[in-house]
Amino acid sequence: MKRADAISGGVLFAFAAVMLFFIIPSQIETGPSGMVSPRLVPNIMMVALAGLSALLVWKSAANVNADDTAGDPVISRAELWAALKLSLVFAGAIVSFLWGSALIAGVVLVSGSLLALGERRIWVLILMPAALMFFLWLVFYKLLGTAII
């Protein structure tokens, strides 16, 4: 498990570094003078992610045991299969957002994730996306008075 923590921490650290030094500066414009930059919150989140992932790597590297580095695979076949299923769900949600609407994409994302993770109770599959979409509609459209798109 410590090897898996070290690998996932390294991947998260690399992701945060790429976002911090390449993606955010190239995709988010600097704000006008006298205003808070729109890059501030994404930069803060990526610095926090990089710090926490470095802490994860450091803690897992400090506690590596000899029996933990045995011949067992770091990531099992079931975990890879679950990651593939969730990636397909996200791809389906993106496609349904581009060709449909935000509501359809949200339902696909929530219901598809539940199905991919093994949920089979029909009421959970129906009520969870319905409740989430209702509360998002309530907060964004009625309470805040803004549109999602």
Give the whole-number percent of the chain exceeding pLDDT 70. 92
The set of residues, in sequence order, having a beta carbon less than 8 Å from that of 114 and lying 6+ positions away, is 124, 125, 128
List the chain residues with pLDDT less than 50.
none
Residues shown for the chain: 149
pLDDT tens digit sequence for 103-129: 899 999 999 999 998 999 999 999 999
85 phi/psi in degrees, rounded to 5: -65, -45
Q: Enter the tokens of residue 67.
A: 């029996």
What 100-103 contacts at long range (C-beta under 8 Å, 24+ apart), as own/partner pairs, is: 102/148, 102/149, 103/133
pTM of the model as a whole:
0.63
